[in-house]
Structure 1
C-alpha cells in the first residue's frame, strides 16, 4: 500500500532541489520506512531522491523497493550512477539483480565496478541459480585460529564494513579451508580470558552446504539445526561464502509457491504473477490443461464404453457427478496432505506404510459417512431398495480408492526422484474419475444384472 504522507513535501523538495531536507529525509527514518514513503513517486523521482543519500544508505533504501521497480531503475538510469549503487548492494542480492538485466546492460555496468567486485559477480554468476553457490554471499568473516579473542575482535572491526552479517566467525587456515566456527557471543564472553585463541574456543563439527547443493536441501539444514547462517564450501572444504537465514526464508517462500502452483496443475512461474507475460502465463497453464483435457476424454470414453448399461438403467446417470466428485475430492485432499507433509519433512519415503494405513482407515470412515448420505438420497430415486445399494457401495469403494491413490502417487513420484507436487490435485482427480466410472458401472452390473 502506498503511503502518501510525505509525497507533497517530497515533490516540493525535489522541485526546489532542497539538498539539506532531502539528505535529512534519507538519513532520519528507518530505510524501510523511507522506501515506503517513496512508493508514490515515479521511478525518475525516486531515483533522484536516492542520489541525495550516502552510498551505503542509498543501497539500503533501494533494497526495500519491489524487484520490478529495482530492475526498471537499473535499466533506465546512467550506468555510472547504477554502478555506484550496485557496488554497495550485498553480493548475493546484486548478482540476482544483474542476472535479470540484458547482456548489453551488464556490459555497460561491470567495467565501472572495482576489480574485486567484478570478479565476485562473475564467480557467483557461474553457479546455477538453484544451488547454494547461486544463493550465497561472499561477504563472510574469515579469521585465523591463532588469534586471541581481543585480536579477533579488532580484526572483526576492520572487516565489519565489508560484511553482510556477523552472526558467526569462520575460522580458516592459510588456504581458506574451514577449520571451525565461533559465535559472536562466544567471542565477547572470552574477552576476560586473553590467553584463549579462536582455535581453543571454536566448534569443529560444523554444518556446511556444498556449493553445488540444491537450495531446498540447504533450507532444510538451516531449519533442522536452527542456524542463522550456514557456510558454503567446495569439495576440498574451502570456505566460499555463507547463506543467511533471510535468504533461506526467500527460498522456502519460493518453494512453497512452486508447490502450490504445481498442486493446482500450473507449471511454476519464474516471475511474480503481475510481471510474467500473458503468452508465457497461458503456456504455463495450457500445458497441464491439455494433459487434463485428455484425461477427461478418457473419462468420456469410459462412459461411452458402458453406454448400454447406462441406457438400461438411466437413473444411474443421475448419480455420476456425485460419484466422480466424491472420488476426485477425496483423492485431492489426500494428495494435498501428503505432498505438504513430504515438503515440510514430516513424512519420508520410509513412512509409506504408515501413510497408507492411516489413509485406509480415514477413507473407510469418510466413505461410510458419505455412503449413508448417498443411500438416504438413492432410496427415493432408485426403482427399489435393493437397487439403491449401488450408490453407497460405489461411494465407499471410490472414496477408498481415491484416498489411497492420492496418498500413494506423491510417494511414488518422490521415490522416482521427481517432485511429489507434480502429482497435482486435478491430475489425481482425473485418474480417480476414470476409476470411479469403472467401479460404478461394475457395481451396478453385479447388483442389477
Structure 2
C-alpha cells in the first residue's frame, strides 16, 4: 500500500511540475534550441533599426522640397516637406538603417524632379547611427511659395512603426517581446515665423498586451515642456475609456503623455490580449487607436515657437516612447534613453555602466522600435523563432539583415482578424 501511495504522490508531483512549467513564461522551452538570451551580442551594438540623417539643403531660389524613402516618391514614403533657399536649411530625419538612399523631390518648369542622395557615400558623424548629407538642388529648381511651413513624419506619412517591450526590468524576461506592443506614427508641423501654424499629432494603436504588470505606454516630448501642452491638447479614441493624458509635473519639465484605460482589454479572467493563438483575437478595427493633437498655433511666445520648431526639425530625437508602472514609477526605456525625473529609484534598482541606460551586462535590452508595422510574436515564442533573421542582425552588430523585420515566421507570429 505504501508503494502505491508513493507512486501516486510521484505521479501527482510530476503532473503538478509540468502544469506549473506550462504556466511560467520564464522557464526554459525545450522546443526552442536557441534564445535571444543565448546570443553573443557585440558590446557596442545599439539595437537601432533607424539612423539619423542630418540634411543640409540649399536651393538657387526659394522653393519647397519633399523628402521620400522610396524612389517612386509615394505618400507612404514621405518623411518631410520643407521650404529651402540659398541659405542652408538643416533638418535631422529618422531613416531606416536598411535604407541606402533618400530621394529629394523639387519643382522645375517642366514638372517635379527627383535628386537621389546615396546614404552610403555621405559623411558619418560621431555616432555610427548618425550621418550628415549636404544637398544642393540644381539650377533648374523653380520657386514654389505654396508651402510656408515645414512638415515631418516618423516613420513616414500615414505609416506605422512598431514598439515592442519586455516588462520584467530590471530582470530579463522570456524575450517574446510582446508584453506591450503598439504601433506609432508622428506628424509635426511648424511655420517660419513666431505666431505661425505649429503643432504635432501622435497616433498610437495598441496591438498586444502579453505582460501581467500594470505598465502604461508613455511618450516624453524631447523639446516641448509641460506648460506648452496643457492648454493645447485634444485626444480622441475609438474605444470608450481609453485616452491619453498629460502627466502632472513642473511646467518647465519635458511633457510626458500617458495612455490610460487599457486594463479592460484583457477581459474578465484573461491574462493576455492578442498574444495567444487559438483564443479570441481582436479585429483590426477593434484595436484601440488614439490620436493626440497639440495645436499651439495661437501662441506668439518665441520660446513656445522654438520648442515646436525644434520638434519639427528634429523628429528623430523628439519622441521618447517608454513604459511606466504607475504603482512604483518604474520605467522601461529603449536602449540609450535616460529615465525621466519621475523614476526616482532608477539608480538603486539598476545601476549601469559605460553611461548607457537600459541594457544588461550582456547588452540585452527591454524594448525595440521598428520603422514598420510588423506582426508580434505569439505568447512564449522566443523572438529568434518569430523572426529568423533577427539573430543575424544582432550578432553581426547590425551589419547584416538590416530589414529582418520584413520576414516573419507565419507560424510564430500573431495574425489578427481583418
TM-score bracket, normalised by the shorter chain, equals under 0.3
Q: TM-score, normalised by structure 1?
A: 0.23
Higher relative contact order, structure no. (Cα contacts within 8 Å, ≥ 6 residues apart): 2
Q: TM-score, normalised by structure 2?
A: 0.25
Tell me which protein shows more helix as a share of its residues.
1
